[in-house]
Amino acid sequence: MVRKSQTNGDAPRSNISEDEIANGQRNDYEIDLWRRFAEATDLKTFCQSWLSLQVSMIKDVRSAMILLGTPDRGPFSPVAIWPKPDFNVSHLTNSAERALKERRGLLLKSDSLPESQNNQPESIHISYPIEVSGKIHGVVVLEVEDRPSHEIQAIMRQLHWGSAWLEVMFQRADILQVEETNDRLKKTLDLVASAAENERFQASAIAFVTRLATEMECERVSLGFEHRKAIRVNALSHSSEFGKQMNLLRAIGSAMDEAIDQRAIILYPLPNEATPLVTRAHEELSRQHGAGNILTIPLRKEDKFFGCLTLERPVNKPFDEEEVKLCETIASIIGPILDTKRKEDRWLITKAGESFVAQLKKLIGPGHLVLKLISLLIISLVVFFYFAEGDYRVSAPTTLEGTIQRAVCAPFDGFIADARVRAGDVAKEGDILCVMDDRDLKLERIKWVSQKEQLLKQHREAMAKHDRSQILILQAKIDQAEAQISLLDEQLARAKVTAPFSGVIMKGDLSQQLGAPVEKGQVLFEMAPLDSYRVIVEVDEREITEIKAGQKGELILPSMPNEVFHLMVEKTTPVSIAKEGRNYFRVEARLEGNTERLRPGMEGIGKIMVDRRKLIWIWTHELIDWIRLKLWAWWP
């Protein structure tokens, strides 16, 4: 029971009510929650304090939890549970999964036992996803007693406003991670710059280890590379001459060999939860030279280890996990750079000898079957090309032409009335090729015939009157009319254009030009005979010196790829012709054998036999000649 004090008038209160005591305790509790919330240093404490604050602002909360995980992927696990960390909140799992899947706030009825069994009123689950920059980081789930809708909306608003603190926390974590990454990259780039600013390997290595020792607060940093199947120390920090420190170099080299043999990063002393490793050499280095903490990182390129990086610190300054990762990153980037500089800094004869010995070992020793097969193949090819010969033939585009070509022209100005043939058709001598429209000519002839009859009548009348002058004039007009009629008869006879000889139509298709006008002398068709051909071989100017009259060759046409036609060179024209970016000479040849299936205008590939030469020369002479010409053009 809550006892209420009397407040009549201005009488002083004789006691403090239970409400005031409860409110005071509640204020102290909230102050404590805010203090823990403000002082939280890790994710779990922050979320637990935030959840307790949210519950303190909402009435009648039965249970609550926060699930967090990898953004948008999960898995999501509880990081904060209310009212106590070990409270069973498995009944909130379904609501949380639905909110994560649907990416929105949800209000669901509880699936708890009936009221008659649990003696509690019905509850509802309020789920609100935590979304930052478009990614779901987790979800908040509250179980509250059922209440009016306006109170539910107030709870949703409270979660929405309160989730801003969680968003700030994630954004701060992202910023810290980015800052750590940037800091790591800056240190790495600074070290890369220190290694790259010197041209010689030794100076670059010493500058790198010295800079690394300063950055990582190490007593000594050593860098070694493989030499004759063992690691030899090439650089020590803060020391340009370390040849006299043989015991130290031997101990560091042994520690590096120990890491290479186990193909693992060795941190001495080994952490309790680390994988067991052999550290006898590291222990000896620590005992003899006072290194309290030693970190050795093997340098690897692909699957081959070629060196090691060793860092030493005093006993009171161990390497943490972040520093180990940073050193591993630095070693993986700078190690190959320095190894390349080391190899390039050797004498040229040393590099050539090492390369030759390495290849010879592969060729003679076990394994490397592919290299041996390639070497055997190269030797076989050299022997083959030294002895092998072949027919050297000049290849060139080839065209068939008729020995003669005849043009069929329009006999007069007119129009095309009919077309009987087209290009590619075979015509015999006298066959009609096309017919000209002769209607105008016929009308013109009728006109002149009528005019002649009139003149004859007038001539007879003049003779009857014995008018000699009129008779002479009319006789001249009659002769003119007869000449015009004769001319028209000749034109009418030539209206049917015929073939002058038997052959194939090379050019001309008037079937698409019926009714089109033509002029006198215009070429209508071109014909070539079918029994007489000449072969034109377009030989490139680089090969023309090899061609002589009397040489034989072969011709293959795309229309008859399975049949070979034999030819003989007859003549080479002395004038070159430019075509499609190249210069060539026309070489005329004569076909030998049956030519019934051939047609003028066919194109193919002709090969003219020159003589027998080495195969390697036949395949490479064009390239060699091109190189010689270019060198001669460039040579001053």
One of 2.60.40.640, 2.60.120.10, 3.30.420.40, 2.40.50.100 is the CATH number of 406-526, namely 2.40.50.100
Model pLDDT, residue 21? 41
Asked if the bond preceding 121 is cis, omega within 30° of 0, the reply is no
Give the integer Cα–Cα distance in Å for 530 and 433. Answer: 17
Query: What is the residue type of 146?
Result: D
Instruction: Specify the pTM.
Output: 0.42
SS (H, E, C) 164-203: HHHHHHHHHHHHHHHHHHHHHHHHHHHHHHHHHCCCCHHH
For residue 196 the two structure tokens come to: 């790259």
CB-based burial label for 175 (10 Å; 0-12, 13-18, 19+): exposed
Contact 553, 564 (CB under 8 A): no
Sorted by where each begins, the domain ranges of the chain are 18-176, 197-345, 406-526, 532-634
CB atoms within 10 A of CB 184: 15
Give the integer Cα–Cα distance in Å for 621 and 390. Answer: 14
CB atoms within 10 A of CB 323: 16
Domain at 18-176, CATH class: alpha beta
Give the integer Cα–Cα distance in Å for 478 and 484. Answer: 10
β-bridge pairing 432-436 and 304-313: unpaired
Q: Edge-to-edge, what's the strand order for the sheet holding 517-518?
A: 496-498, 432-436, 414-419, 517-518
User: Crossing angle, helix 615-634 and helix 369-387, to 10 degrees?
Assistant: 90
Cα–chain center distance at 276: 46
Contact 615, 385 (CB under 8 A): yes
Give the integer Cα–Cα distance in Å for 472 and 207. Answer: 129
Q: What SS3 class is residue 400?
A: strand
What is 532-634's CATH superfamily?
Efflux pump adaptor protein, beta barrel domain (2.40.30.170)
CB-based burial label for 347 (10 Å; 0-12, 13-18, 19+): exposed
Give the integer Cα–Cα distance in Å for 622 and 471. Answer: 88
Per-residue pLDDT tens digits for 562-606: 888 888 998 888 888 888 778 889 898 888 876 677 777 788 999
Do domains 18-176 and 406-526 share one topology? The answer is no
Contact 181, 195 (CB under 8 A): no
CATH number for region 197-345: 3.30.450.40
Per-residue pLDDT tens digits for 255-280: 999 999 999 999 998 887 778 889 99
H helices of 197-315, in order, are 201-215, 246-262, 280-289
Q: What is the DSSP letter of 90?
A: G
Query: What is the residue type of 452?
Result: K
89 φψ region: left (φ > 0), alpha (ψ -120 to 50), beta (else) = alpha
Give the integer Cα–Cα distance in Å for 30 and 57. Answer: 10
Give the integer Cα–Cα distance in Å for 633 and 408. Answer: 52
Model pLDDT, residue 6? 35
For residue 567 the two structure tokens come to: 């030819």
Give the integer Cα–Cα distance in Å for 126 and 152. Answer: 8
Cα–chain center distance at 394: 41
Q: Tokens 């013109």 identify what position?
A: 444
Could you give the count of Cα atoms lying within 13 Å of 551 in the half-sphere of its Cβ? Answer: 22
Could you give the count of Cα atoms lying within 13 Å of 320 in the half-sphere of its Cβ? Answer: 3
140: β partners:
66, 128
Give the integer Cα–Cα distance in Å for 480 and 82. Answer: 131
Q: What is the DSSP letter of 407?
A: E
Per-residue pLDDT tens digits for 299-342: 988 778 889 999 999 888 889 888 888 888 888 888 888 888 88
CB atoms within 10 A of CB 118: 11
Of the candidates 533, 530, 535, the one whose C-alpha atom is nearest the C-alpha of residue 505 is 530
Q: Which residues of 61-85 are buried (b: 16+ CB within 10 A; e: fewer)?
A: bbbbbbbbbebeeeebebbbbbeee
Q: Edge-to-edge, what's the strand order for the sheet holding 76-82?
A: 76-82, 61-69, 135-145, 123-132, 106-109
Cα–chain center distance at 90: 50
Low-confidence ranges of the chain (pLDDT < 50): 1-22, 112-118
572: β partners:
587
Q: Quote the strand ranges of 238-367, DSSP E.
A: 266-268, 293-301, 304-313
Asked whether the CA dihedral 8, 12, 17, 23 is positive or negative, the reply is positive
Contacts of 27 (CB under 8 A, 6+ apart): none
